[in-house]
Amino acid sequence: MDRGIEPELRTRHIQAADATRATLGLTLTDYVVTDTPLEVELRTADSGASWGTIGHPESLLRAADKLISKSKAEAIAVVARFPDDVDSVELDNYRHGQGVDTLAGAEAVISHLIVREFAIPCAHAPALEPLEVDESISPRAAAEELGYTFLPCVLVGLSRAPQFVSQPQTNSIWADEVDAVVIPHTACGGSAILSFSGGNTRIITVKDNTTALNVTPEYLGMETITVNSYLEALGVLVAHKAGISIDPLRPTMSSLSQACD
C-alpha cells in the first residue's frame, strides 16, 4: 500500500480487504505500507494510449520483497495513490463509454514491474477520491461506481491467479499449449502476441474493439483470423474446438487446387 494514500482512504481499502475475507472467504496476508510515497504520474502518448511513471519504484519493490519473504505471499495486490483529475475530458469520456482508461497504462507499469522482478502474480487497484454522482455514465463504467475502492475485484482475481513455474508440473500450461488468443485488431504489437505469432497458436483479431493503437496484423505481416465482433470470435473458437474448418462458414469458399510436384 502506497504511503502517499491519505489515512481515511487507506482505512477504506483495509476495510474493503477485510470485507473480502469475511464475505468471500479469501485468505490474505498482512499488508505493507511502502517506506516512501510512490508518486505515480499519468502520461498519454501521441497515439492516445495511456502510460505512466513511478517516482520511487525501489520503494515498491522493497515492500513486495517483504511480503514475499516474510509473509510468504503468493500473489500481490498493489494499491497506489493516483492523481485525482476529476475535471479532465479523458475521464469524462471514459465514464461515458468513450476513449481510453487514463489510469490503465500506469497500472500496467506497476504490476509488470513486480511480475518481472519476482515472477509472482500481481495486479493493481488505484486509490482515488470518490467521484461525483453522474446519472448518465455508461453501463460499461458503472461497475467502478460500486464503492470507494477497486480492490475487491483485484483480490478475487489474484486469489485464483496461476503461479509462474520454470519446469513442467501437473496442470501447468506452456505457451505451445495455447490453442488460440483473441485480441483487438489494432493491438497486435505486444510481446506475447508477437511470440505466439511464430508458433501454432491461432490469433483471432476483433475489428469492433477499436483502440488508440494502430498495430494491425497487416502492418506486421502477421497471419491471423479477422472477425468483426467478439460474438463471431466465439463462433471461431467453438468451431476450432469441435474440429470444424471455418472456411465453409464464410460466404465464399475456394476449390481445392492440385499440389505442385
Q: What percent of the chain has pLDDT over 70?
A: 99
Reported as a single tens digit per residue, the pLDDT across 61-102 is 999 999 999 999 999 999 999 998 766 787 777 777 777 888
What is the reported pLDDT for 256? Answer: 85
Integer Cα distance of 181 and 49 in angstroms: 22
pLDDT digits (tens, 9 = 90+) for 133-184: 888 888 877 777 777 789 999 999 999 999 998 888 888 998 889 999 999 9
Q: Structure pTM?
A: 0.80
In the numeric block, which cell numbers belong to residue 145?
Answer: 461506481
Mean pLDDT for the stretch of residues 257-261:
82
pLDDT in tens, 205-253: 999 998 888 899 999 999 999 999 999 999 999 999 999 998 888 888 8
Burial 50-68 (b: 16+ CB within 10 A, else e): bebebebbebbeebbeebb
Q: SS3 for the chain, per residue?
A: CCCCCCHHHHHHHHHHHHHHHHHHCCCCCCCCCCCCCCCEEEEECCCCCEEEEECCHHHHHHHHHHHHHCCCCCCEEEEEECCCCCCCHHHHHHHCCCCCCCCHHHHHHHHHHHHHHHCCCEEEEEECCCCCCCCCCCCCCHHHHCCCCCHHHHHHHHHCCCCCCCCCCCCCCCHHHCCEEEEECCECCCHHHHHHCCCCCEEEEECCCCCCCCECHHHHCCCCEEECCHHHHHHHHHHHHCCCCCHHHCCCCCCCCCCCC
The per-residue pLDDT for 168 is: 82
| pLDDT tens figures, 28-45 | 999 999 999 999 999 888
pLDDT band of residue 111 (cuts 50, 70, 90) is very high
Sorting pLDDT into bands at 50, 70 and 90, what band is 127?
Answer: very high
- Closest Cα to residue 43, out of 82, 3, 94? 82
**What does the pLDDT read at residue 86?**
64
Q: What pLDDT was estimated at residue 92?
A: 76
Q: How confident is the model at residue 115 (pLDDT cuts 50, 70, 90)?
A: very high
